[in-house]
Chains A and B, each alone.
Chain A
Amino acid sequence: MSYTGVASIPGAAATTQSFTLGKGIKVRGEISGSENLNFDGELEGSIDLSGNTLVIGPNAKMKANVTARHIVVHGRVEGNMTALELVDIRTTGSVYGELVTTRLNVEDGAMIKGTVNLRREGQVAAQSQSAQAAQLTAPTAPAEERTISPDGQLTIGSQTPVSIPVTVKPNI
Chain B
Amino acid sequence: MGAVTAISRWFGKGPSPNENRTPTPAAAPKQLRRSSGLIEFTQAIDTPGLSILDLGPTSPTNIAYLTGLGHKVYNEDVLSEAALPELQIKDKEGKPCFDLESYLKHNLRYEPQSINAVLGWTVLDFLPEPIVKPLVERLMTALRPGGVVLAFFHDKDEGPATQYQRYQINDQNTVEIRPGKPFTLQRVFNTRHVENLFQGSRSCKFFLGTDNLREVLVKR
Contacts and interface: CB of A to CB of B under 8 A. Distances in A.
Interface of A: 104, 106-108, 110-118, 135-143, 146, 148, 150, 152-154, 156
A140 B60 contact: no
Interface stretch (B65-73, B129-137, B138-146, B157-165): B65-73
Interface of B: 27, 48-49, 57-58, 60-61, 63-64, 67-77, 81, 111, 114
B61 A152 contact: yes
A104 B67 contact: yes
Contacts of A117: 72
Contact of A146 (B68, B72, B73): B68
A81 to B, nearest CB: 14
A117 B67 CA distance: 8
A115 B48 CA distance: 16
A110 B59 CA distance: 9
A114 B64 contact: no
Nearest to A109: B58
Given A112-B58, A116-B63, A148-B60, 19 more contacts: A106-B63, A108-B60, A110-B60, A111-B57, A113-B58, A113-B77, A113-B81, A115-B75, A135-B111, A136-B72, A137-B49, A139-B48, A139-B70, A142-B67, A142-B69, A143-B68, A150-B27, A152-B61, A156-B68
A52 B106 CA distance: 33
B56 to A, nearest CB: 12
Nearest to A113: B76
A152 B166 CA distance: 13
A111 B61 contact: no
13 contacts: A112-B58, A112-B63, A113-B77, A116-B67, A116-B72, A116-B75, A117-B72, A118-B67, A140-B67, A142-B68, A154-B61, A154-B63, A154-B64
